[in-house]
Amino acid sequence: MTLENISINKSFSGWHKQYSHHSDSLNCPMRFAIFLPPQASNDQRVPVLYWLSGLTCSDENFMQKAGAQRLAAELGIAIVAPDTSPRGDKVPDDDGYDLGQGAGFYVNATQAPWHRHYRMYDYLVEELPALIEATFPVSDRRAIAGHSMGGHGALMIGLRNPGRYRSMSAFSPISNPSVCPWGQKAFSAYLGSDTAAWRQYDTSLLMRDAPEGPPALVDQGASDPYLAEQLQPQALQAAAQASGYPLQLNLREGYDHSYYFIASFIDQHLRFHATHLQD
């Protein structure tokens, strides 16, 4: 597969790079960013943290705002940040910020007009990791993390693929998308009206039925404006308690939904993943 390098920047003795490529899963060009720590070389393949961003974001938000490169370089962890949806003139879109381009919700759409392009689940679980591992000096020791819509995606994907990921974490995840406005709008459009089809993408429902899987760390800001209506971390906590799932959920007083929050605690998340990514 042909990769086109868009940009390259040295950072903490490692390299931040952006690439575009054609995605067979999504039937369109896609872009991703990768941070390669200084330890990554032909003689040393490093573990990878996949970061999934939230609504309206792209591959750039986390790499520019989270301040993760310093510690990732120290720990020897690569970071891959994909885009949040397929994009392009031929890709269906919506006037709302919470549906369409920039809002893929990390599902495989089954409904027209979305089903031809919006297959982010397949892209992230199969296509992108295969491309990353074949192209860059990284190993198959993987972790997955994300924010908001991406927190939903990271936890959902980790729960559905426990053998692929050593650990998973999230900031402010959409914890129970089947019963919140953002999730209901997206799931209705991408998956149809049969709510039984939604269950496979609902983190709280999956965790309730999964007593084992990658250990999970979740941080939630107590001053997040979306906390009560959209995020509902109490559903995730209840699911973990019901199944005995290894979840640590922290409610952080005074913090909101922004990258100020993520930057404040990203080091704890990176160290959490580093513990589980060791050989």
Q: What confidence tier does 1 reach under pLDDT thresholds 50, 70, 90? A: low
d(CA 240, CA 101): 32
Which one of the listed residues 16, 117, 152, 257 is annotated catalytic? 257
Give residue 123's pLDDT: 98
Query: The domain spanning residue 147 has which CATH number?
Result: 3.40.50.1820
Give the structural domain span for 268. Answer: 3-277
Amino acid found at 44: Q
Best CA proximity match to 205, nearest among 166, 155, 163, 161: 155
> What does the pLDDT look like over 16-55, one tens digit per residue?
999 999 999 999 999 999 999 999 998 999 999 999 999 9
147 noted as active-site residue: no
What is the residue-averaged pLDDT of the chain?
A: 97
Residues forming a β-bridge with 169: 145, 217
Contacts of residues 57-62 at CB distance under 8 Å and 24 or more positions apart, as own/partner, are: 57/84, 57/102, 57/147, 57/150, 58/31, 58/83, 58/84, 58/102, 59/18, 59/31, 59/32, 59/33, 59/83, 60/18, 60/33, 61/259, 62/147, 62/259, 62/262
Residue 279 confidence (pLDDT): 75
Tokens of 85: 């949806």
Structural domains in the chain (count): 1
* The overall pTM is greater than 0.95: yes
Q: What is the pLDDT of residues 203-217, one digit of tens each?
A: 999 999 998 899 999
Residue 13 a catalytic site member: no
Q: How far is it, in rounded angstroms, from Cα 250 to Cα 264?
A: 13
Q: Which residue is catalytic, options 25, 148, 169, 175?
A: 148
The residues facing 216 across adjacent strands are 168, 247
Q: Give the separation between CA 186 and CA 91, rounded to whole angstroms.
A: 16
Q: Give dist(CA 92, CA 22) in Å, integer.
A: 17
Q: Which of 83, 224, 269, 273 is catalytic?
A: 224
16 is catalytic: no
